[in-house]
Amino acid sequence: MSLSLGIVLPTRNERDNLPTLIARIEDALGPEGWEVIVVDDDSPDGTADAARALARADGRIRVLQRFGRRGLASAAIEGMCATAAPFVAVMDADHQHDPALLAAMHDAVAAGTCDIAVASRFAPGGSAAGLPNERREKGSRLANRLARHITGVELTDPMSGYFLLRAETLRAAAPGLSGIGFKILLDLLATADPPLRVREFPLAFAERRAGESKLDTAVAFEFLVGLYDRSFGRVVPSRFALFGTVGALGVAVHMAVLVALYRLAGEGFALATVIATFAAMTFNFWLNNRLTYRDARLKGIAAVLRGWAGFCATCAVGALANVATATLLQGRGVYWVVAALAGIVIGSVWNYALSSRFVWGR
Ligand code: GDD
Ligand code: MN
């Protein structure tokens, strides 16, 4: 029997799950016609070594170890491009996806009744019981709703990480895939032209066996940025939008400090504005470093301090313009709130232009 199905298992710390999962795949598909491609992102638990040990004894197993890179979606894409099998599947390596569905998914695509078979937790007959908690289940449903709304993809589970399609279909779509985060299926469905005919297979999403989930707030945040980019990204780039949002929050900090010092503590307006400006600047640096420039994030106390000093320095001109504008207007009898806001607008323009370039090098 010749090779028909390449099963990609993206792994990050899944050492103890691999042998049992491969045994379950064999139970489901029989001894021949398939291969497993483990795509490991240099897991600290030694998943890649363990996979190679399995592969030496079993010619149906192959290993792709990546260094200095992370990401479920890109691992899945590269794994699917690394097999000669005419059909490719991706599934989680932690036993949450039942290999028993593989045969029916394969046969449906092979028979041409659909272009892609998707295992769905939310299709009738499926279940999301294996999600770790209610918060995760709510989040998952919300992400699905958002994804459906924005991409127009009509699917009960566009976030599923378990699907099967022809390798050539994947290769045709591959150049347009972003490879960011967890949303590989969503990207595939939104990118493929002509659109893929989908068939869903109800999946009872099981509990993970060993190890823990890697879907954290950072992954969730990237997902939202990805959706934003798809809808408004061409009008206002997400980085600029984030900088603006952080800036708006900084305005709140600025005003809060100003109210506290000027209105409540009775300090002079100029001094209060100087302090408010510095408070907002520090807050903005911190949040921009975490969100806007998360891909170039400064880490470690020395780098952060240097970055903060650099941020303040590049903003110094802006801050000066801010203070000058605000005090000038306020001195001329302009209402203090309006004076402060005008100063902030002038200062922000400088902040974005200079800090992007000189603090984070973007
Ligand atoms: N190579 C690689 N690199 N693999 C990764 C990475 C990574 O950066 N992050 C996660 N994985 C692997 C895990 O080792 C696991 O085999 C699979 O991808 C799924 O990761 P989990 O960390 O177990 O995700 P989950 O169970 O919380 O998320 C499930 O639900 C999501 C939607 O709600 C999965 O089914 C996801 O595929 C799905 O998008
Ligand atoms: Mn999982």
User: Are 10 and 91 spatial neighbours (Cβ–Cβ below 8 Å)?
Assistant: no
User: Whose structure tokens read 């970055």?
Assistant: 307
Question: Hey, which of 43, 214, 224 would you mutate to test ligand 1's pocket, going by the most ligand atoms within 8 Å of its Cβ?
Answer: 214
Residue with CA closest to ligand 1 atom 21: 213
Residue 182: is its pLDDT beyond 80?
no
- Ligand 1 touching residue 119 (CB < 6 A): no
The predicted structure's pLDDT at residue 128: 86
Residue 119: is its pLDDT beyond 80?
yes
What type of residue sits at position 195? P
Distance 213 CA to ligand 1 centre (A): 7
The predicted structure's pLDDT at residue 1: 81
Distance 319 CA to ligand 1 centre (A): 44
Query: Sorting pLDDT into bands at 50, 70 and 90, what band is 144?
Result: confident
Sheet with strand 198-202: strands edge to edge: 61-65, 34-40, 5-11, 87-90, 163-166, 116-120, 198-202
Strand 87-90 to strand 163-166: parallel, antiparallel, or no bridges (unpaired)? antiparallel
Q: How confident is the model over 70-94, as pLDDT tens digits?
A: 899 999 999 999 999 999 999 999 9
Residue with CA closest to ligand 1 atom 13: 11
Query: Sorting pLDDT into bands at 50, 70 and 90, what band is 233?
Result: confident
Query: Sorting pLDDT into bands at 50, 70 and 90, what band is 21?
Result: very high
Distance 350 CA to ligand 2 centre (A): 44
- Long-range CB pairs of 337-340 (<8 Å, 24+ gap) are 337/255, 340/254, 340/255, 340/258, 340/273, 340/276
The predicted structure's pLDDT at residue 282: 94
- Ligand 1 touching residue 71 (CB < 6 A): yes
- Ligand 1 touching residue 41 (CB < 6 A): yes
Say what the pTM is.
0.81
Residue with CA closest to ligand 1 atom 15: 92
Question: How far from each other are the two terminal CA atoms of the chain, in whole angstroms?
Answer: 52
- Ligand 1 touching residue 39 (CB < 6 A): yes
Interacting residues of 220 by C-beta distance below 8 A, sequence separation 6+: 139, 143
Least confident of 3-17, 38-52, 185-199: 185-199
- Ligand 1 touching residue 211 (CB < 6 A): no
CA atoms of 246 and 119, how far apart (whole Å): 39
- Ligand 1 touching residue 184 (CB < 6 A): no
CA atoms of 302 and 317, how far apart (whole Å): 24
Q: How many CA atoms lie within 13 A of 165 on its CB side?
A: 29
Q: How many CA atoms lie within 13 A of 167 on its CB side?
A: 17
Query: Sorting pLDDT into bands at 50, 70 and 90, what band is 259?
Result: very high
Residue with CA closest to ligand 1 atom 37: 161
Estimate the crossing angle of helix 269-287 against helix 336-358, to 10 degrees.
40
Q: Of all residues in the chain, what percent carry a pLDDT higher than 90? A: 63
Query: Sorting pLDDT into bands at 50, 70 and 90, what band is 69?
Result: confident
Q: How confident is the model over 297-338, as pLDDT tens digits?
A: 999 999 999 999 999 888 887 878 889 999 999 999 999 999
Residue 199: is its pLDDT beyond 90?
yes
Distance 32 CA to ligand 2 centre (A): 27
- Ligand 1 touching residue 87 (CB < 6 A): no
CA atoms of 35 and 205, how far apart (whole Å): 23
Question: Hey, which of 43, 72, 184, 213 would you mutate to test ligand 1's pocket, going by the most ligand atoms within 8 Å of its Cβ?
Answer: 72
Strand 198-202 to strand 5-11: parallel, antiparallel, or no bridges (unpaired)? unpaired
Residue 147: is its pLDDT beyond 90?
no
Q: What average pLDDT does this structure show over 173-193? A: 86
- Ligand 1 touching residue 209 (CB < 6 A): no
Ligand closest to the CA atom of residue 72: 1
Instruction: Kindly report the average pLDDT of the chain as a whole number.
Output: 91
Residue with CA closest to ligand 1 atom 12: 11
Q: Kindly report the CA angle at 283 between 282 and 284, in degrees rounded to 5?
A: 90
Q: How confident is the model over 101-111, as pLDDT tens digits?
A: 999 999 999 99
Q: How confident is the model over 261-300, as pLDDT tens digits?
A: 999 999 999 999 999 989 998 999 999 999 999 989 999 9
